[in-house]
Amino acid sequence: MEPNKSNEPPASVAGESLPATSEVAPLVVGGPAVDPVAPPADPPVAEPVTEPSPEERDQLIATVEAARGKFLALLRADAKPKSPDVMAAATAYAAALNESQIPLAEEWSRLQSGVDAETAVGHTSECDKLRNDADRLIANYAALFAGLPVLEQAVVTELDRMKEDDPPFLAAPAEIREPLINYKKGLQIIQRMFGRLHARKKPLEGIAPLPPAPTLPNEAPSATELANKLTEFGHAVNDWRVAGNTTQREIRKKVDGLRKEVTGFVSALLGPIDGIEGGLRNEPELLGRLESFRSDHAAVIDGWTRAYERLDAGLLPYFEATGLSSLTVEPGSAFRPETMEPGGTVVRLDRPLEEVVSVMRRGYALNGEQLRPVQVEVVVHTASETPE
């Protein structure tokens, strides 16, 4: 049958007449089977090109995205190194891409973004953090040494005030001179302690930047090369990860070493600083002993004492410049095991259990990281023994 080239219904079908207005005619039993409405004729083309339907296109895009995701997953930090899965994933990805008819250049830029995102996590970010830690520790170390002469000078200034050959001092009774000479002795010991710290200085080395992650070339390879190039790239990223994990371990070890050096120095520095705190604490006892001599020897007593107060106040700018901070706590606060250590207990049934009674020794932190907890005296309700 000749195809009907118009949209008009056929005028007649053998043996049957159809109403002119009818679009869909009921078939008459016994009549021949025909299309009630003939389809429009296709344009005459040599080979029809089948454009995927929107649904098919979505499906192909989804397949490419899934294949890309699978390939990228093999570049992740927790992926197994030298995995044979890389070649399989690269091949599947290339095949999906070829079939999808998505322009390679367009997909390439999406892949590049994905690769950048994957290689930015894992040891790269961890090593950057470690490098920052190292830089900060080295800066702390330099500042701690740079500020030492100021602390030493402050002690020298105090010692200069304590002249043993001054006539008023010589004229004072032994009950004044002896404790004051002993007071000066404490400062001289602190001066020597500060002086000995210089010998601890060592050159500290920073951490070199990591080798950068492999990157995809800007130009996409040809479709035929795609699978091989992706496999090569995937293996290169995996190798970089393996090398990076080893480097990360080494860097962590180096940063641990730096931290040990810096905290070791601070620990030594706390010797004279504790000495200043001890002097400050002991001073009232000395002033009490000298009080009865004040009327006749006020100039000597005032000239020699209060040195620890001034030295203690002078520590603050040093702390600020070095990242060090002293930790203390108000009496009456609740005990916090994260930042405090109990140095003594007092049985007080009228106060809450573990309330801080007094600060026995300051704590210290470097860059906010606690180096030594505050030692406190706390309330207990019974002088109980350990369960052993």
Closest CA relative to residue 317, chosen from 305, 330, 326:
326
Q: Considering only residues 10, 179, 214, 303, which one is a binding residue for another protein as defined by CB under 8 A?
A: 179
With binding defined as CB under 8 A, does residue 127 bind another protein?
Answer: no
Helix H or strand E encompassing 87? helix 85-100
Edge to edge, the sheet with strand 369-372 lists 324-327, 363-366, 369-372
Q: Which is nearer to another protein, 10 or 257 (CB)?
A: 257
Q: Which is nearer to another protein, 38 or 287 (CB)?
A: 287
Alpha-carbon distance of 374 to 332, in angstroms, equals: 14
Min dist. Cβ of residue 361 to another protein (A): 6
Characterize the bridge pairing of strands 363-366 and 374-380.
unpaired
Min dist. Cβ of residue 190 to another protein (A): 5
Judge contact between 130 and 198, C-beta under 8 A. no
Alpha-carbon distance of 11 to 20, in angstroms, equals: 8
Closest CA relative to residue 276, chosen from 207, 347, 380, 183:
183
For residue 12, list its beta bridge partners: 17
Min dist. Cβ of residue 275 to another protein (A): 4
Q: Considering only residues 122, 147, 234, 272, which one is a binding residue for another protein as defined by CB under 8 A?
A: 272
- CB-based contacts of 345, cutoff 8 Å, min separation 6: 377, 378, 379, 380, 383
Min dist. Cβ of residue 188 to another protein (A): 9
Residue 210, Cβ neighbours under 10 Å: how many?
19
Min dist. Cβ of residue 89 to another protein (A): 18
With binding defined as CB under 8 A, does residue 360 bind another protein?
Answer: yes
With binding defined as CB under 8 A, does residue 186 bind another protein?
Answer: yes
With binding defined as CB under 8 A, does residue 282 bind another protein?
Answer: yes
Min dist. Cβ of residue 338 to another protein (A): 7
With binding defined as CB under 8 A, does residue 271 bind another protein?
Answer: yes
With binding defined as CB under 8 A, does residue 334 bind another protein?
Answer: no
With binding defined as CB under 8 A, does residue 380 bind another protein?
Answer: yes
Alpha-carbon distance of 388 to 381, in angstroms, equals: 19
Judge contact between 301 and 144, C-beta under 8 A. no
With binding defined as CB under 8 A, does residue 22 bind another protein?
Answer: no
Question: Which residues here bind another protein, judged by CB under 8 A?
Answer: 78, 179, 182-183, 185-187, 189-190, 192-193, 196, 267-268, 271-272, 274-275, 278-279, 281-282, 285-286, 335, 337-338, 340-345, 353-354, 358, 360-361, 375, 377-378, 380, 382, 384-388
